[in-house]
Chains A and B, each alone.
Chain A
Amino acid sequence: MSPRSVKYRQASHLAQRRIAGELFVVDPRHRCLHQPQGAGDPLWEWLKKGATVEELVQNLLRDYDVPRDTAEKDVRRFLRELKRKKIVEEVS
């Protein structure tokens, strides 16, 4: 599978809900609170069903007035952060 076709999805062990419009994501394994903000908020929502990097970039370009370069950098940085925190998983 090429890296471009890898789909990412929110890890299944997380507890989450919105409180006063803000995302509260808790990782029970590490007892950590995560709060995706800014572009991270919609990116996190799109990861609920699973999405490739390209799909996430396209969604950002559709909803925000940003150059493609910036959108791609934001997506990659966000996914890197989620992988480091182990709250996103790859799906085939």
Chain B
Amino acid sequence: MSGIPFPENNPAFRIGPVGFHFHPSSILHKKQLFSEYRRFLTKAHPDFWQIALEPAALEQPREVPVVEEKTGRFSVSSGRFHGEFSRKERRGRLRVRNTAAVTTFLRAFLSHVLTKERGFLLHGAGVRVNDGACLLAGVSGSGKSTLSRMAAPGDVLSDELVLAHRGDARWQAYGTPFYGDVRRNQPAGYPLRAVFLLEKAGEWSAERLSQSDAARGLLKCVLNFSAGREGYSSLLDNTADLTAAVPCLRLRFAKKRPHGKSLTATLDGLLRSEGLS
């Protein structure tokens, strides 16, 4: 947190290409946001989403977030939070039952905003491999945390949700503050070298997937709470673009690393054996 005054300033942080500048009405919320997102804190920028954060006694039973968009304004809500936002002004107001709800809100908010900005949040672990990163995509129980534990601590972008974004030139993978069992998240972004769809097996192997098989597998791992056609159309476009630009493979893996190699070396070796150095 060096260079970021606390607690005079409001917390500003960046998750991949999306910046947030929260304006909490309570000092408790402010402290908790600084603590929860400390690795992702950065200097505030005018392009960041400006979000007024207020406590609220919400009593709705719904747990799964819902996103609804109409003519440039959208709402993100669940039983624990309710927010309304203007896409054009990049600002809005979020009411939460407690600070923990901000994490759930951010997942829903990011998944919605990113689909229209050439990106998405994916159920997957992100691991640095040489100068890039590999995405290990899979739903709950597929082995994301198991594999993340095999990587060096500084090489894990997240063991639960990774942000993929198409920049000007290529797809990048970014760490997120969302984690499962392994809290080693790194905020950095790296060129996305490959996507592996996870499958538990007795031995390690990788097999290149056709674009349509990759798209089918990837769609199961995309986080999306919007119920509208437009959001899904963008999501299909992003999926088509990513699977055309980035090699996608099926990764069959065992619980133990082959010959004690690091996960990074193992993935790099599998990519090279497929001619993807």
Which residue from chain A places its CB closest to the CB of B224 in the assembled complex?
A31
Contact B227 A15 (CB under 8 A): no
A77 to B238, CA, bound (A): 33
A33 contacts chain B at the CB level, 8 A cutoff: yes
Considering only residues 207-265 of chain B, those with a C-beta below 8 Å from chain A are: 210-212, 215-216, 219, 224, 226-233, 235-237, 239-240, 243
Contact B229 A20 (CB under 8 A): no
CB of A38 to closest CB in B, whole Å: 15
Which residue from chain B places its CB closest to the CB of A35 in the assembled complex?
B216
Contact A17 B229 (CB under 8 A): no
Tally of chain B residues near chain A (CB < 8 A): 21
Knowing A19-B243, A20-B211, A21-B212 are in contact, say whether A28-B236 is a contact too (CB < 8 A): no
Which residue from chain B places its CB closest to the CB of A23 in the assembled complex?
B212
- Tell me what chain B mostly uses at the interface: helix, strand, loop, or mixed: helix
Cβ–Cβ < 8 Å partners of B237 in chain A? 17
Which residue from chain A places its CB closest to the CB of B239 in the assembled complex?
A19
Across the interface, B229 reaches (CB within 8 A) one of A13, A21, A24, A33, namely A13
A41 contacts chain B at the CB level, 8 A cutoff: no
Give the contact-size bracket for chain A.
10 to 19
With a 10 A CB-CB cut-off, give which of A13, A15, A16, A29 has the most chain B CB atoms.
A15
Across the interface, A15 reaches (CB within 8 A) one of B212, B236, B240, namely B236
A26 contacts chain B at the CB level, 8 A cutoff: yes
A13 to B226, CA, bound (A): 13
Which residue from chain A places its CB closest to the CB of B234 in the assembled complex?
A15
Contact A20 B210 (CB under 8 A): yes
Contact B232 A26 (CB under 8 A): yes
Cβ–Cβ < 8 Å partners of A24 in chain B? 215-216, 219, 236, 239
Cβ–Cβ < 8 Å partners of A31 in chain B? 224
Q: B-facing mask of A48-89, CB < 8 A → 1, else 0?
A: 000000000000000000000000000000000000000000
Q: Besides A17-B233, A28-B229, 16 other CB < 8 A contacts?
A: A15-B229, A15-B231, A15-B232, A15-B233, A16-B233, A20-B210, A21-B212, A22-B215, A24-B216, A24-B239, A26-B235, A28-B226, A28-B228, A28-B231, A33-B219, A35-B216
B interface residues (Cβ-Cβ under 8 A, vs A): 210-212, 215-216, 219, 224, 226-233, 235-237, 239-240, 243
6 A-B residue pairings within 8 Å (CB atoms): A15-B233, A19-B211, A19-B243, A20-B212, A28-B229, A28-B231
